[in-house]
Amino acid sequence: MKEALAESLEAAFDLGDLAKVEELLAEIEAMRSGELTPYVRAQGARFGARLAAGRGELERVEPGFAAAAAAAAAFRELSMPFMRAVTLLEHGRWLVEQGVVVEAEPLLDEAREVFQTLGATPWLEHLEDVSTGIGVQAGA
């Protein structure tokens, strides 16, 4: 169930269906404490930040990504390096878009290290698209 929820959120974003994203996030918020696992809480924070960014709700994005940073820490504790790296990449991309490159670089560097370790070539390509725009070289 928890993995299906994350995949549904990702699909809704891919389709540009922000209303569906909001609906799925509401399902997470409605969960009782016994149902709300650290993984689901972390995914909710991650996707909530993406939703705020997608809607241009700038006042909600940074708090959302602060929650996403906590999500990245949760993914570390849950031994989920890939999800941690994806969360770091998403946060770093948003910071780059806001012109806050200095804060983005360590996030992107950490994501790069994880993606390289995992051999996640498509994700390294996504990361390089972001890094190229700010002059960060692979392995820098």
Q: What is the pLDDT of residue 37?
A: 83
Q: What is the pTM of this model?
A: 0.72
**Per-residue confidence (pLDDT) for residue 112, from 0 to 100:** 95
pLDDT of residue 139: 44
Q: Which residue has the higher pLDDT, 33 or 30?
A: 30
Q: What is the mean pLDDT of the chain?
A: 86
State how far the Cα of 140 lies from the Cα of 124, in Å rounded to an integer. Answer: 14
Domain ranges of the chain: 1-79, 81-140
Does residue 140 have a pLDDT over 70?
no
Give residue-wise pLDDT tens across range 60-98. Answer: 877 877 777 777 787 788 788 998 899 899 889 888 988
pLDDT of residue 11: 95
Q: CA-to-CA distance for 69 and 103, rounded, in angstroms?
A: 13
User: Which DSSP string corresponds to 50-77?
Assistant: HHHHHTT-HHHHHHHHHHHHHHHHHHHH
Grade residue 137 by pLDDT with cuts at 50, 70 and 90: very low
pLDDT (0 to 100) of residue 24? 94
Return the pLDDT at 1. Answer: 67
Query: Distance (Å, rounded) from C-alpha 113 to C-alpha 106?
Result: 11
